[in-house]
Amino acid sequence: MSRPPVSPLFTEEHIRQRVEELAAAIAPRLGPEPVLVALLTGAFVFTADLVRALSRQGVRPHVDFMVLSSYGKGTVSSGRVQVKLDCQESLAGRQVLLVDDILDSGNTLTFAIEHLRRKGATEVLTCLLLDKPERRQVPITADFLGFTVPNVFIVGYGIDYAEQYRELPFVAMVHEE
Ligand code: IMP
Ligand code: MG
């Protein structure tokens, strides 16, 4: 499979600083036994850095994961979101910090919040690494946001283009032919 060229948007150092700032902003909002629910696969690198930054702020969350899918094979949101793998932790009466990589149409995040509330979460706070506000179909914003990006295709730091580029240690944009 061809790898289209990419160019860096946010460096490792830039991301590291922003993740520390996010953790410092999130920590005072969390109660004693929060559950961090991260959406796989795109948020796995961000989550790994965020939990360690939260630890430095004294936060000790349970960490759980969900796999949702909305895109099918395309790169445009279908608007239909499905649970492919549910989280394991009991959420009844719990505060949840929901972590994802990119807020795009808003369909995934809207569905995920509703799903976690149906499972009994008393509060769902959201933390997104990136936001593409131009692409929104559903009116929703993140409680905690790393960076706003233009309407370009993003890769790196866990985020893929056809399963490629997740390993990049920085966030980049794809130059599509
Ligand atoms: P939404 O439901 O349209 O908001 O989709 C959000 C999800 O789409 C994110 O969790 C990403 O997995 C994926 N996504 C959106 N934009 C990009 C991108 O530029 N690169 C890679 N994945 C993306
Ligand atoms: Mg995703």
State mean pLDDT over 42-50.
98
**N- to C-terminal Cα separation, the chain:** 14
Our mutation pick for probing the ligand 1 site, out of 104, 111, 147, 164, counting the most ligand atoms within 8 A of Cβ, is 104
Instruction: Count CA atoms within 13 Å of residue 166 on its CB side.
Output: 13
- Given the CA of residue 101, which atom of ligand 1 is nearest to it? 10
- pLDDT single digits (tens) 49-108: 999 999 999 999 999 999 998 765 556 666 789 999 999 999 999 999 999 999 999 999
- pLDDT single digits (tens) 133-168: 999 999 999 999 999 999 999 999 999 999 999 999
Our mutation pick for probing the ligand 1 site, out of 77, 98, 102, 176, counting the most ligand atoms within 8 A of Cβ, is 102
- The whole-angstrom separation of Cα 85 and Cα 115 is 12
Question: Helices H, strands E: what count in the chain?
Answer: 3, 9
Q: In what helix (H) or strand (E) does residue 23 lie, and over which residues does it extend?
A: helix 12-26
* Residue 70: per-residue pLDDT: 76
* Residue 75: per-residue pLDDT: 60
